[in-house]
Structure 1
Amino acid sequence: MKISLCILASAMLLATPVMAQSSQNNATTAAPNVQSAASTASMHKEGEWRASKLVGVNVYNNSNEKIGDINDLILDSSGRVANVVIGVGGFLGMGEHNVAVTFDQLKFAKEPVKTVSNDGAGKTGNAGSTSTTGSASTSAQRSDNWYPDHVVLNANKDQLKKMPEFKY
């Protein structure tokens, strides 16, 4: 009996390095796949936007009228954006109506909204500076591309206000 226990213990001691070596080999063969996936995901690519930067982006209609802003992004279980929650109406968040639209209904614009200034009506005392109507930014392009300048949705405020309110 003692001899069989000694043989069993010796066999276990000899097998332990073999098992450890095979698990290390599995780990090293799996590691390059994880590392290669991590290296491609570690850099910002053109056309990718940070979700935190999309929240708050202004939403305009096809007539360049501001109709709301993005309040939230709803993801499905695969990580794709299923819906975009847009806040419509209200003032300083009071009385705002949240509606959900599908991501594919939105067109993302990198350049600022183009508005027309009134012929000299917006001139101020500063050297040649004019103001434009609407809430457009200047025509200079941003140097970052972490989020679009604005979003265009083919709808008007009244249509969005009539949509069912999105509930969390």
Structure 2
Amino acid sequence: MTLKTALATAALVLTSLPALAQTATQPGASGAMTTQQVKTATVQFITLEPAAAVTSRILGTKVTNAQNESVGDIADLVIVDGKTVSAVILGVGGFLGIGERYVAVSPDSVTLVRDGDGWKASVNATKDELSKAPVFDYKKKS
């Protein structure tokens, strides 16, 4: 199972959560504003396969390359429009979190396979390529 498949499953779960009720203010017959309840989304339950990856179990997963070198770990996921995983944030470089920097890669770039009770992730990139990749700066993102 690729990371993209697992993340798409996780995103599907997120999108199936019920929407919070919102209120809209409308003018009443006398022109005074009244509050009216807007419909909430209907809950849709799904059944996941036991092999599905959930983010709580893949965050922190060590990432290796084709030479079986450790090149980093999965630090985060970027979800756009509330449902699509658009990037996997890898923590690369550094030692014990000191000097670590973050790079964003496409979910298609990461292969995720079950490894016993956990997960194994790999990318087709060298340490040098990852060290030269553009930095993902959390401070600039909202």
Under a length normalisation based on structure 2, what TM-score does the superposition of the two structures give?
Answer: 0.63
Equivalent of 1:166, from 101, 120, 136? 136
Cα 1:47/1:75, change in 2 over 3 Å: farther
Equivalent residue, structure 2, for 1:104 = 108
Equivalent residue, structure 2, for 1:68 = 72
Q: Once the 2 structures are TM-superposed, how far is the Cα of residue 48 of structure 1 from its aligned partner?
A: 2.6
User: Which structure has the highest strand share of the two?
Assistant: 2
Q: After superposition, what is the alpha-carbon deviation per residue over 1:137-167, rounded to whole angstroms, capped at 9, x for unaligned?
A: xxxx32xxxxx52111000111000011101
Tell me how far apart the structure 2 counterparts of residues 156 and 59 of structure 1 sit (CA, whole Å): 11
Q: Once the 2 structures are TM-superposed, how far is the Cα of residue 46 of structure 1 from its aligned partner?
A: 4.4
Tell me how far apart the structure 2 counterparts of residues 150 and 158 of structure 1 sit (CA, whole Å): 21
Secondary structure of residue in 2 paired with 1:73? strand
Gaps of 5+ in 2: 1-38
Residue type at the aligned position of 2:124:
N
Residue type at the aligned position of 2:135:
E
Gaps of 5+ in 1: 1-26, 112-140, 143-147
Identity value in percent: 36
Equivalent residue, structure 2, for 1:57 = 61
Residue type at the aligned position of 1:62:
A
Tell me how far apart the structure 2 counterparts of residues 56 and 103 of structure 1 sit (CA, whole Å): 15
Tell me how far apart the structure 2 counterparts of residues 61 and 97 of structure 1 sit (CA, whole Å): 17
Cα 1:81/1:47, change in 2 over 3 Å: farther
User: Larger Cα Rg: Structure 1 or Structure 2?
Assistant: 1
Q: Once the 2 structures are TM-superposed, how far is the Cα of residue 45 of structure 1 from its aligned partner?
A: 2.0
Structure 1 position 151 matched with structure 2 position 121: yes
Cα 1:81/1:56, change in 2 over 3 Å: same
Equivalent of 1:94, from 94, 98, 105? 98
Please report the RMSD computed on the Cα atoms of aligned residues, expressed in angstroms: 2.2
Cα 1:104/1:47, change in 2 over 3 Å: farther
Equivalent residue, structure 1, for 2:28 = none
Q: Once the 2 structures are TM-superposed, how far is the Cα of residue 80 of structure 1 from its aligned partner?
A: 1.6
Secondary structure of residue in 1 paired with 2:56? helix
